[in-house]
Chain A
Amino acid sequence: MSFISYLISGISLGSVYAIIALGYTMVYGIARMLNFAHGDIIMVGAFAAFTVSSTLGMNAAAGVIAAVVVCTALGLTIERVAYKPLRQAPSLAVLITAIGVSYLLQNLALLIFGANPKSFTSVVPVPALKLAGGELTISGVTIVTIIISIVVVIVLSLFVKKTRAGRAMQAVSEDRGAAQLMGINVNGTIALTFAIGSALAAVAGVLLCSAYPTLTPYIGSMPGIKAFVAAVFGGIGSIPGAMIGGILLGVIENLSKAYISSQLSDAIVFAVLILVLLIRPTGIFGKPLNEKV
């Protein structure tokens, strides 16, 4: 019974990683850059929700909406100000800029909200589910997190495959220059990608803090790194890959915590990443690299 409980909380944790990983993977797939500030956008989302629902006393739904709006605007602003001027720059320059943005966000949050940890009130009003005569308790947040992540992946996959904007994204990720020649607004498409990624980060932030109720300016960094691992694990650039990678990662983390050692779980997670990269360098769902000579 406890195995099932560990498995479910692992899937729930993995679902949060998956939602974050989707942001990484989309931005990487389309803009070919690693947005290391993504983890900190999660944190901003959580603070926005906290400010609206706990400090201003509005209801939880308003908090979630505020988080999504603030993060989308923030994502667009960051893209416009920090990344767009570097579109033709070497990828190392963009990477370092992303790390800079990450620290900027952390320190801004530190200035505005202070370093004292805040206890985040769960925005999920769903009561816990008791199964098997109360032996197995699944919290409401866990259920909601899993459902939301599945819905997000399905909607996103449909969006990319079926809509005009989605197909423009695919085209830009295939060949930016050719896409532009075909009349696709490359800058607009990249901005849209950032907007979607950041909105997902807001959702992830709210879910993350609802499940693990502490809020500091640094909460985004570790889940951000883990989600990046998940994205690489599943094959960076692939939407189902991010989902599977995230969930596998969460399950591995939780089970190794429970059955091997609660201290070594991070080490095991990263060891798995190294193994995956050795065996399948492009990840589980990644396309094999065709070296053009």
Chain B
Amino acid sequence: MKKILSLCLAMAMVFSLTACSGSGDDAETTAAAETTAAAEETAAADGEETTAAAEEGETAAAASGEGTFKIGGIGPTTGGAAIYGTAVANAAELAVQEINAAGGINGYQVELNFQDDENNAEKSVNAYNVLKDWGAQMLLGTVTSTPCVAVAAETYNDNMFQLTPSGTAVECLTYDNAFRVCFSDPMQGTVSAQYIAENGLATKIYVIYDSSDVYSSGIYQAFAAEAENQGLEIVGSGAFTADNKTDFSVQLQQAKDAGAEMVFLPIYYTEASIILTQADSMGFAPLFFGCDGMDGVLNVDNFDTALADGLMFLTPFSPTAEDEVTQNFVAAYESAFGETPNQFAADAYDGMYAIKAAAEKAGLTPDMSVSDICEAMKVAMTEITLAGTTADSLTWNADGEPNKAPRVVEIQGGAYELLAE
């Protein structure tokens, strides 16, 4: 059954390629045909050079018979963290379209299959199995930390190359086949404490964190450790759990009683929006400082964005940055999806280009086995330098951690303002 299917697909592929390199007016019935045609159209519009590259790709693809790199993606496109997953899915798709239009990776087209996991570890592993059945060769994902840790164990078993755009937990990179684009949790906690101390923002700090989430508790632990080094006083901490995240009045009251000047929120934006509203109704107005999970707080339906004024958070990406890569990305994303990309989108976009750069460095072809691709990518990732949207120069070490400068933004009047790099 599988053989017949793959034979059919191969036939369809060959047919589509011949159809395209001919006049292109044949009936295009397969999806593959459409993508290639679309790629060629854009390539033609882009000028001589890219067309040549695309044609070269076609010959190579036709020769090997298996013409595309299959990259799987996993993230929450529904559920409480949907903003992240959707952003990653959109940006990854955008990057794939651009890469395909420019001739693909080593002349091969790229195919992306993005699966929803609702920010749930179990569903994420299921999504990974679906992608494996589909024939995924590399994985861009998962988007959130808890599912990422679960999926990382699976990719290690299969020795599949995994690049998570935004899985910040330390455990995401337990194995050497996994890399990430974003900062790790300890790194975010450490950098936040340093930033607060260096800029003298506050000395008495209260922390509200989610003890049932590795992302949140990971940042908290690193923050607490670094705060001590920096001479910041943590006057208290209020943990909450996934079952108990609608009422923060007790934590806020504790913070108020302890005389906190700042409340540090290493949590996701949904809970942060409640905290900001409740603090306002209590008449408590400290500084609020968060990490990258805060990105998206302005997009909560019906949220009074005036409450977020003065909220600062650590983020690797600012849509207002003036470098060319960022500007092009923001313009393309806005025209394709009608909204400004957030840092998750930027991470995913950089992630896809990192895969491209490393795959080209390693000289990958789609007929290599998943395991061979993984071995080659592990080496190549440490050798590339990427000019991305989240940093001017991104490099990776063998542990899979990126090396880049942090950025802090502040929300003013419903918009982000870049404070520091």
Docked-complex contact A118 and B300, CB < 8 angstroms: yes
Residues of B296-329 at the interface with A, using a CB-CB cut-off of 8 Å, are 299-304
Report Cα–Cα, A117/B303, bound state, in Å: 10
Known: A137-B283, A262-B238. A257 touches B302 (CB 8 A): no
Docked-complex contact B301 and A118, CB < 8 angstroms: yes
A119 CB contact (under 8 Å) in B82, B243, B250, B302: B302
Report Cα–Cα, A25/B400, bound state, in Å: 56
Residue of A nearest to B299 (CB): A116
B250 CB contact (under 8 Å) in A6, A134, A216: A6
Docked-complex contact B250 and A214, CB < 8 angstroms: no
Docked-complex contact B274 and A214, CB < 8 angstroms: yes
Docked-complex contact B273 and A266, CB < 8 angstroms: no
Is residue A77 within 8 Å, beta carbon to beta carbon, of the partner chain? no
Is residue B281 within 8 Å, beta carbon to beta carbon, of the partner chain? yes
Docked-complex contact A120 and B302, CB < 8 angstroms: yes
Known: A213-B274, A222-B243. A263 touches B211 (CB 8 A): yes
Is residue B6 within 8 Å, beta carbon to beta carbon, of the partner chain? no
Measured CB to CB, the closest approach of chain B to A52, in angstroms, equals: 13
The winner among A117, A216, A257 for most chain B CB atoms within 10 A is: A117
Docked-complex contact B257 and A212, CB < 8 angstroms: no
Chain A residues closer than 8 Å to B278, beta-carbon distance: 212-213
Chain B residues closer than 8 Å to A50, beta-carbon distance: 302
Docked-complex contact B281 and A139, CB < 8 angstroms: yes
Is residue B79 within 8 Å, beta carbon to beta carbon, of the partner chain? yes
Residue of A nearest to B277 (CB): A213
Contact with B along A195-239 (1 / 0, CB 8 A): 000000000000000011110100100100000000000000000
Is residue B156 within 8 Å, beta carbon to beta carbon, of the partner chain? no
Measured CB to CB, the closest approach of chain B to A258, in angstroms, equals: 5
Chain A residues closer than 8 Å to B250, beta-carbon distance: 6, 9, 254, 257-258, 262
The interface size of chain B toward A, counting residues with CB under 8 Å, comes to: 36
Is residue A121 within 8 Å, beta carbon to beta carbon, of the partner chain? yes
Report Cα–Cα, A185/B281, bound state, in Å: 48
Report Cα–Cα, A212/B249, bound state, in Å: 9
Known: A116-B83, A118-B301. A214 touches B246 (CB 8 A): yes
Contact with A along B270-291 (1 / 0, CB 8 A): 1001100110011100000000
Chain B residues closer than 8 Å to A137, beta-carbon distance: 282-283
Contact with A along B100-138 (1 / 0, CB 8 A): 000000000000000000100000000000000000000
Is residue B412 within 8 Å, beta carbon to beta carbon, of the partner chain? no
Measured CB to CB, the closest approach of chain B to A113, in angstroms, equals: 9
Docked-complex contact A216 and B80, CB < 8 angstroms: yes
B247 CB contact (under 8 Å) in A5, A13, A117, A139: A13
Is residue B30 within 8 Å, beta carbon to beta carbon, of the partner chain? no
Chain B residues closer than 8 Å to A116, beta-carbon distance: 82-83, 299-301
Chain B residues closer than 8 Å to A13, beta-carbon distance: 247
Residues of A109-125 at the interface with B, using a CB-CB cut-off of 8 Å, are 110, 114-122
Residue of A nearest to B274 (CB): A214
Docked-complex contact A214 and B283, CB < 8 angstroms: no
Is residue A48 within 8 Å, beta carbon to beta carbon, of the partner chain? no
Docked-complex contact A214 and B282, CB < 8 angstroms: no
Chain A residues closer than 8 Å to B283, beta-carbon distance: 128, 130, 134, 137
Measured CB to CB, the closest approach of chain B to A155, in angstroms, equals: 27
Report Cα–Cα, A13/B244, bound state, in Å: 13
Report Cα–Cα, A265/B238, bound state, in Å: 12
Is residue B254 within 8 Å, beta carbon to beta carbon, of the partner chain? yes
Is residue B393 within 8 Å, beta carbon to beta carbon, of the partner chain? no
Is residue A282 within 8 Å, beta carbon to beta carbon, of the partner chain? no
B270 CB contact (under 8 Å) in A117, A120, A258: A117
Measured CB to CB, the closest approach of chain A to B52, in angstroms, equals: 45
Residue of A nearest to B240 (CB): A262
Is residue A2 within 8 Å, beta carbon to beta carbon, of the partner chain? yes
Is residue A54 within 8 Å, beta carbon to beta carbon, of the partner chain? yes
Docked-complex contact B302 and A54, CB < 8 angstroms: yes
Docked-complex contact B78 and A115, CB < 8 angstroms: yes
Report Cα–Cα, A119/B297, bound state, in Å: 10
Measured CB to CB, the closest approach of chain B to A1, in angstroms, equals: 8
Is residue B232 within 8 Å, beta carbon to beta carbon, of the partner chain? no
Docked-complex contact B302 and A2, CB < 8 angstroms: no
A212 CB contact (under 8 Å) in B247, B303, B304: B247
Docked-complex contact A258 and B240, CB < 8 angstroms: no
Docked-complex contact B247 and A119, CB < 8 angstroms: no
Docked-complex contact A212 and B239, CB < 8 angstroms: no
Report Cα–Cα, A222/B80, bound state, in Å: 16
Docked-complex contact B270 and A214, CB < 8 angstroms: yes
Chain B residues closer than 8 Å to A76, beta-carbon distance: none
Measured CB to CB, the closest approach of chain A to B189, in angstroms, equals: 19
A121 CB contact (under 8 Å) in B83, B118, B240, B302: B302
Is residue B253 within 8 Å, beta carbon to beta carbon, of the partner chain? yes
Chain A interface residues toward B at CB < 8 A: 2, 5-6, 9, 13, 50, 54, 110, 114-122, 128, 130, 134, 137, 139-141, 211-214, 216, 219, 222, 254, 257-258, 261-263, 265-266
- Listed from nearest, the 3 A-B pairs whose CB atoms lie closest are A119-B303, A118-B301, A212-B246
A128-B282, A258-B250 known; 17 new pairs, CB 8 Å cut-off, are A5-B253, A6-B253, A13-B247, A118-B301, A119-B274, A119-B300, A134-B283, A140-B281, A212-B278, A213-B273, A219-B246, A222-B246, A258-B253, A263-B211, A263-B240, A266-B241, A266-B244
Chain B interface residues toward A at CB < 8 A: 78-80, 82-83, 118, 211-212, 238-241, 243-244, 246-247, 249-251, 253-254, 257, 270, 273-274, 277-278, 281-283, 299-304
A-B contact pairs, 6 of them (CB 8 A): A2-B253, A116-B82, A117-B270, A119-B304, A121-B302, A257-B251
